[in-house]
């Protein structure tokens, strides 16, 4: 049975890579999407720990530094799952680039300081100048359709909704079509880099969109296990 499942996974990935424009499945395409094709642009592993420490000190919303902080992190936060996942993200080559970009922006007077917030009242979210996660992030190990959640790739997906990818300096509501593009450009390349299967559908609470085709259908649906271009009942 495991062989059959493996063959189905390979078959689905082949369909994704063949039928989705700009799917970024080859080594070069995937690395270009993640911004790591040119190794000179990637902070070396020797500085990633130090950069994460700087990020925590300057960009993690902290009530000790700001009494009006939105959703601040507690003083003792290093054991929180969310903290550990951000640390894991910061050590990846693509995460290291984003962390470095945030640190560089901290020196720009005309740019709002980017904030990394803790928010247990909702799921992982992001805006132009912030990203927030629950303290027990990720809250689940699998999506409703059974796909494994890659927490590090999910962080990279959320960064796709920030100014570092959208270019927005003001708040902007992400449509379900926007989310599909972010899955294609951020989430799935990171998932595949991390050896996870790409995501094929996204549900926004009202309708489901197919990542490969862009087709939408009212309600929550999963993908057909033999052809992820098609919807299937959840």
Statement to judge: residues 118 and 209 lie in one domain: no
Same domain, 216 and 232: yes
94 and 124 together in one domain: yes
Which tokens in the block code for residue 23?
A: 């799917």
- Answer for the pair 102, 93: CB distance below 8 angstroms, yes or no: no
b/e map 75-102, b = 16+ CB within 10 Å: eebeebebbebbbebbbbbbbbbbbbeb
To the nearest whole number, what is the mean pLDDT of the chain? 92
pLDDT in tens, 28-70: 999 999 999 999 999 999 999 999 999 999 999 876 666 566 7
| Statement: residue 2 has pLDDT above 80 | no
pLDDT higher at 132 or 6: 132
Q: Is the pLDDT reported for residue 18 higher than 60?
A: yes
208 and 152 inside one domain: no
- Does this model's pTM top 0.85? My answer is yes
Within 13 Å and on the Cβ side, how many CA atoms surround 14? Answer: 8
Give the phi and the psi of residue 210 in degrees, each rounded to 5: -85, 125
pLDDT of residue 68: 62
pLDDT digits (tens, 9 = 90+) for 177-199: 999 999 999 999 999 999 999 99
Tell me, yes or no, whether 79 and 135 share the same domain: yes
Banded pLDDT at 228 (limits 50, 70, 90): very high
pLDDT per position as a tens digit, 137-147: 999 999 988 88
Q: Name the residue range of residue 212's domain.
A: 1-23+198-234
Overall average pLDDT of the 101-120 stretch: 92
Taking residues 102-119, what's their average pLDDT?
A: 92
The pLDDT of residue 169 is: 74
**What confidence score (pLDDT) does residue 62 get?**
78
Domains held by the chain: number:
2
- Do residues 64 and 15 share a domain? no
Same domain (yes/no): 215, 159: no
Residue 211 to residue 223: CA distance in whole angstroms: 10
205 and 190 co-located in one domain: no
User: Are 76 and 178 in the same domain?
Assistant: yes
């Amino acid at each position: 049975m495991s062989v059959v499942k493996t063959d189905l996974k390979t078959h689905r990935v082949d369909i994704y890579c063949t039928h989705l424009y700009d799917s970024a499945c080859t080594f070069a395409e995937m690395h270009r999407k993640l911004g790591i094709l040119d190794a000179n642009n990637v902070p070396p592993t020797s500085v990633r720990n130090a950069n994460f420490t700087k990020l925590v000190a300057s960009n993690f919303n902290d009530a000790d530094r700001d009494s009006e902080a939105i959703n601040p992190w507690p003083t003792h936060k290093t054991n929180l799952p969310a903290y550990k996942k951000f640390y894991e993200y910061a050590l990846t080559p693509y995460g290291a680039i984003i962390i470095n970009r945030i640190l560089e922006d901290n020196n720009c007077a005309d740019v709002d300081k980017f904030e990394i917030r803790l928010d247990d009242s909702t799921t992982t979210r992001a805006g132009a100048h912030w990203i927030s996660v629950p303290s027990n992030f990720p809250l689940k190990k699998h999506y409703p359709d059974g796909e494994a959640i890659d927490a590090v790739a999910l962080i990279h997906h959320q960064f796709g909704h920030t100014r570092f990818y959208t270019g927005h300096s003001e708040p902007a509501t992400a449509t379900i079509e926007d989310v599909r593009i972010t899955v294609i450009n951020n989430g799935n390349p990171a998932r595949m880099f991390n050896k996870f299967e790409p995501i094929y559908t996204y549900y926004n609470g009202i309708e489901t969109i197919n990542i490969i085709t862009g087709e939408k259908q009212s309600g929550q649906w999963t993908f057909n296990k033999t052809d992820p271009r098609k919807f299937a009942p959840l």
